[in-house]
Amino acid sequence: MRDVAPLKNLTPTELETWVQEAGQPVYRAKQLLKWIYGRDVENFQAMTDLSKDFRAWLTRKAHVSCLRRESVVTDVDGTRKLLFRLWDGECIESVLINEGARLTLCISSQVGCAYGCRFCLTGQSGWRRDLSAGEIVDQVCGARRELGPEERLTNLVFMGMGEPLANFHQVVKAIEILTADLGLNFSTRKITLSTVGLVPEIERLSRTVPVKLAVSLHAADSDTRSRLMPINNRYPLEQLLEVCYRLPLPPRQRITFEYLLIDGVNDSPAAARQLARLLKGFRAKINLIPFNEYPGGLYRRPPSIRIAEFQQILQEKHFTATVRQSRGAGIMAACGQLTHSHQASSASSD
């Protein structure tokens, strides 16, 4: 499978070059894109407006699908967790979340993650490999197949497994395909990328694609942040906030700061006040994420009253502070609960 070209890895411009190098006219790229993304067709033989010879050649030299869907598990709250197997046997998870008029897909960017945040299950077993652009894009194609006739994906968030900015090139390429008219045609305003806080890549991203940015802050002081997130030793809180402050944001767009609330660690009223001082003057929203527990995890979710108090302190200081509803916790699909360590035998269908 690996000696043939995975077409979902190619941006529309790259596909044009590729078909021309194959001796075909450039408009063949458009035809292929319509079949692949417009009609979700994977079998070249079904692409009836291509010549028989070209179809036979494509069958030998290329393939469309990058992922095999192994299972879908649905939570009582409607959240669907999709397990995909990659060509080399590795596994990734994506999560479909229904929130009123919105239908969001949470996508993975790596198998595992190298950043080892203490509270995150994905980070516990380390990094295995980066995903290709095609493997990122194919999560969206795979999720679309699960939708009912009335459903339409409205938003994409890079909040699944992995650190998207550590796989910069493939993630940017995937975004190009996801937002191309003849690709999946998403608006950049409907795509949010969450990062652990890689300072140079945050700057680079802002110069490359205008997707929305969410930054995992999780502490209002550097000591607490370092204890929770080893990355803080490389890019300390002050440096991270400085780059965020200088980001050229489009009009009316705000940066989101994610703040995990962990019982007894960073959830005190004093921490809320400190956070308010730290973010004074930012065009920002604060998204409070009550910790999602998992077996063997070190931390606990704070009591609801403390979450509400934390939120209220921020709101009194005139911040937009929302509490993220935990979705999919019943099927281990909530933030921080995704893992790549699936045995082939554990993946039963539906």
Q: How many CA atoms lie within 13 A of 262 on its CB side?
A: 21
State the nearest-atom distance from the C-beta of 274 to ligand SF4, in Å.
21
Angle between helices 168-179 and 199-208 (to 10 degrees): 30
Among 119, 127, 168, 257, binds ligand SAH (CB under 6 A): 119
- Check binding of 142 to ligand SF4 (CB under 6 A): no
**What does 156 interact with, of ligand SAH, ligand SF4, none (CB < 5 to 8 A by kind)?**
none
**What does 142 interact with, of ligand SF4, ligand SAH, none (CB < 5 to 8 A by kind)?**
none
- Check binding of 336 to ligand SAH (CB under 6 A): yes
Among 24, 65, 122, 155, binds ligand SF4 (CB under 6 A): 122
**What does 289 interact with, of ligand SAH, ligand SF4, none (CB < 5 to 8 A by kind)?**
ligand SAH
The interface with ligand SAH within residues 290-309 (CB under 6 A) comprises 291-292
- Give the burial class of 213: count Cβ atoms within 10 A of its Cβ; 0-12 exposed, 13-18 middle, 19 or more buried: buried
| Total number of residues that touch ligand SF4 (CB under 6 A) | 10
d(C-alpha 105, C-alpha 154), whole Å: 8
State the nearest-atom distance from the C-beta of 307 to ligand SAH, in Å.
12
- Check binding of 265 to ligand SAH (CB under 6 A): no
Query: Measured at the alpha carbon of residue 214, what is the angle toward residues 210 and 219, in degrees to the nearest 5?
Result: 150
**What does 292 interact with, of ligand SAH, ligand SF4, none (CB < 5 to 8 A by kind)?**
ligand SAH
d(C-alpha 322, C-alpha 315), whole Å: 9
Site string for ligand SF4, 183-222 (x = CB under 6 A): -------------x--------------------------
User: Which lies closer to ligand SF4 via its Cβ, residue 106 or residue 321?
Assistant: 106
- 93 has catalytic annotation: yes
- Check binding of 115 to ligand SF4 (CB under 6 A): yes
- Check binding of 258 to ligand SAH (CB under 6 A): yes
Separation of first and last alpha carbons in the chain: 26
The CA distances from residue 199 to 117, 162, 241, in Å, are 17, 17, 9
Residues 6+ apart with CB under 8 A from 4: 60, 61, 62, 63
- Helix ranges, the chain (H): 12-21, 27-33, 52-61, 121-124, 133-145, 168-179, 199-208, 222-228, 237-246, 269-278, 304-316
d(C-alpha 43, C-alpha 55), whole Å: 9
Among 6, 123, 134, 142, binds ligand SF4 (CB under 6 A): 123
Angle between helices 168-179 and 133-145 (to 10 degrees): 40
- 14 has catalytic annotation: no
- Check binding of 206 to ligand SAH (CB under 6 A): no
The DSSP string of 307-342 is HHHHHHHHHHTT-EEEEPPP-SGGGT-STT------
- Check binding of 120 to ligand SF4 (CB under 6 A): yes
The residues of the shown chain that bind ligand SAH, judged by CB under 6 A, are: 117, 119-120, 159, 163, 194-196, 216, 258, 260, 289, 291-292, 335-336
The residues of the shown chain that bind ligand SF4, judged by CB under 6 A, are: 113, 115-117, 120, 122-123, 162-163, 196
